[in-house]
Amino acid sequence: MTLVSWMRRMVNKNLVKGCIVLLFLAVLVSIFNPYKKDLLKLQNKENPAVHLENLTSKPHVPRHFCSLESMSPVETLEERLLMDSIAWPETPLLPTPLSLNHTSDPAHSTFTVLSERSGGEWHVGDQLEVMIQIKDFQGNPKKSGGDVLVASLHNAKLGTGVAGRVVDHLNGSYSAVFTLFWEGSAQVEVMLIHPSEAVTVLHRLTREKPDRIFFEGVFRAGSISETTICNVCLRQTNQPVCNFTDLHTGDPWFCYKPKKLSCDTWMTHTKAGFDGRLKANEEKLFQSNVNMKVSIKASGAASVTVLPQRKVQPTADKSSGKSGLSGYYYQGVWRPLGGTKVHQFNNSSAISQCLKGKAVHLYGDSTIRQWFEYLDASLPDAKEINRNNPKQLGPFMIWDSARNTLVKYRSHGPPLRFPNVPTSEMRYIANELDKLVGGSGTVVVIGIWSHLSTFPVEVYIRRLQSIRRAVIRLLNRAPDTLVVIRTANLKALTLYETLTNSDWFSLQRDKVLEPFSNELMFDWWMPGR
């Protein structure tokens, strides 16, 4: 079974467990839990240990910069299919010297609401189509595609919103298509996240500088301490390398070997710096309020009035999710499509009751840690138990003895953009999942994307594959376990954030994650609205 087919099967099973998922408010997730019989074919007989090992001083000699170990033919095919699914349109080469004159300019670009097909009248269940024309800074229409655009339809007074599906026509024009889910006013918004020329730069950075965020490892034995550079992608030199690739997950990590100490004296991991130097004038392609995250104006009306559903026309198929969306907002509440039931809990008492008798295990980056912080604040009777661990890292735990509720958070394994992380606290999610007994009282939440944004997407695919194998093992031994996947979200973009966590990087990773669901798992409208 391929990664794609497995993920789709996981979502298609109707195993949402009661109210547990409901307390995670305003977050787009995919919930999956297949029947045991569907997992027997994929059962992994190994029972791996759950700690980082394979500490060796044997030099690692990659075939080329940022090469990865070979996979099985099936996994290789999975990777190729996933890479094909995120293939981006060809973007233009940059002239030297670089000028903005012929690059995409949101101020000159426009969008138009098309009314021909509807006769100027829209009803609930209809499709609203918008045509977008990108022009350069001289007002000339662009002739190629590759711009990063997001489109949304919303009504602030009603607290409603839905994402649009953007289609690149590869000639400077784009379409955005929306399903109309509510009556009343609907305002169209189209935003240029990055011009296609900026994507050219981001492509090059990923290829040439996947190590632009670099890390250090501190090796210590007695009074001797040495610090060396570490990374997933470590440039080949004559210096020997410590290969810390996890024996069980296969996730790669390398450090240059210290001169005096052995590899097994690795004690601390830290983010050491950032080298994102661009070529001359390329920073002009990443300017807030100029050509990065700037709204495009409408040519004509930017809003429509949606009438009640036509009697002779069925509404958009909300049960099957054929609209291509995972859901939409209405009156500030997320309404999922595809049959998933979501309830919303608005007070601590309801959340406490929902979590009664449950153990919630949160694994991932800061966006998952924020869930822990929310639950910590929402469970007044729970006591926080920690060892004064760093705020960013954890691990953290809260315990409500009266309700027998346990909530734990642990960050994912390297790469981690945190300072001074003890190597003993760096645990891969897959290995942690192998520790769990699971069962109907166990909830697992996984969110991993941000710290892997600067690397080739293949690195992210490998991480998902190892997590998938561990989830299969967990659900094989405890099919009643509830597993929740959190996807990426938009961010406020500075130049640094763009070069490390651009929304375009997040979009690519969400497309890779999408096969976990047969719906779109990430609606661009939601974050920050």
| Domain residue extents for the chain | 104-200+283-307, 211-274, 345-523
User: Chain-centre distance of CA 481, in angstroms?
Assistant: 23
Residues in Cβ contact with 449 at an 8 Å cutoff, skipping those fewer than 6 apart: 365, 460, 487, 488, 506, 509, 510, 513
CA–CA gap between residue 256 and residue 242 (Å, rounded): 6
Around 51, how many Cα atoms within 13 Å sit in the side-chain half-sphere? 5
Residue 259 burial by CB count (10 A; 0-12/13-18/19+): exposed, middle or buried? exposed
The model's pLDDT over 434-487, given as tens digits with 9 standing for 90+, comes to 999 999 999 999 999 999 999 999 999 999 999 999 999 999 999 999 999 998
Architecture of the domain spanning 345-523: 3-Layer(aba) Sandwich (3.40)
| Rg, the chain, Cα only | 24
pLDDT beneath 70, residues of the chain: 1-65, 118, 313-324, 516-529
How far is CA 281 from each of CA 94, 96, 274, 437, 468, rounded to the nearest angstrom? 11, 10, 19, 55, 42
> Assign residue 92 a region: left if phi > 0, alpha if psi is -120 to 50, beta otherwise?
beta
User: What pLDDT, on the 0 to 100 scale, is given for residue 236?
Assistant: 85
E strands, 61-145, where?
104-113, 122-123, 127-136
The model's pLDDT over 275-304, given as tens digits with 9 standing for 90+, comes to 988 999 999 999 999 999 999 999 999 999
User: Chain-centre distance of CA 35, in angstroms?
Assistant: 26
CA–CA gap between residue 147 and residue 197 (Å, rounded): 8
Residue 179 dihedral angles phi and psi, to the nearest 5°: -95, 135
User: What pLDDT, on the 0 to 100 scale, is given for residue 386?
Assistant: 77
- Selecting from 3.10.129.10, 2.60.40.10, 3.40.50.300, 1.10.10.10, what CATH number does the domain 104-200+283-307 have? 2.60.40.10
Residues in Cβ contact with 222 at an 8 Å cutoff, skipping those fewer than 6 apart: none
CA–CA gap between residue 149 and residue 166 (Å, rounded): 7
- Single pTM value for the model: 0.83
User: What pLDDT, on the 0 to 100 scale, is given for residue 17?
Assistant: 34
Number of neighbouring beta carbons within 10 Å of residue 256:
21
CA–CA gap between residue 476 and residue 473 (Å, rounded): 5
Q: At what angle do helices 457-477 and 3-12 cross, to 10 degrees?
A: 50
Cα angle value 77/462/361 (rounded, 5°): 130
User: What pLDDT, on the 0 to 100 scale, is given for residue 38?
Assistant: 29
User: What pLDDT, on the 0 to 100 scale, is given for residue 324?
Assistant: 67
Around 372, how many Cα atoms within 13 Å sit in the side-chain half-sphere? 34
Give the 3-state secondary structure of residue 430.
helix
